Amino acid sequence: MPLTARVDWIVPFYDLDPLEICWHGNYVRYFELAREALLHRIDYAYPQMRASGYAWPVIELHIRYAQPLIYQQRIHLDARLVEWENRLKIAYEILDATTQKRLTRGHTVQVAVDMQTREMCFASPNVLREKLEGYL
């Protein structure tokens, strides 16, 4: 069973652009909310990453906008772990909470960087494997 997380959200007024739809840059923040919920599920959110000696910068971001998000729309922000052996690839979907229609999809890729040497790791560190044991 894949590791997933869901965050329920209501599009706030301050996320709108002059056309009164959600500004495209806010989708990155919405992905981050879902990603953080996913990482909390395995007790490996950013404070735990830092404590383990690894940073996990995003090196790739892809977003496919299908439908605009509008003011006060209730949405689900879903994240699903896709790859973890050599990098973290997380897939995202934003769904309308009422109709369950997919509005946006995308993914991010993150790599482990040893914080002492600042070198990228070519395999995910053991700490991630240990955190994922109950989910794989």
pLDDT tens digit sequence for 70-109: 999 999 999 999 999 999 999 999 999 999 999 999 999 9
pTM over 0.85: yes
Q: CA 88 to CA 63: how far, in whole Å? A: 17
Phi first, then psi: give them for residue 42, nearest 5 degrees.
Answer: -105, 10
Specify the amino acid at residue 95: L
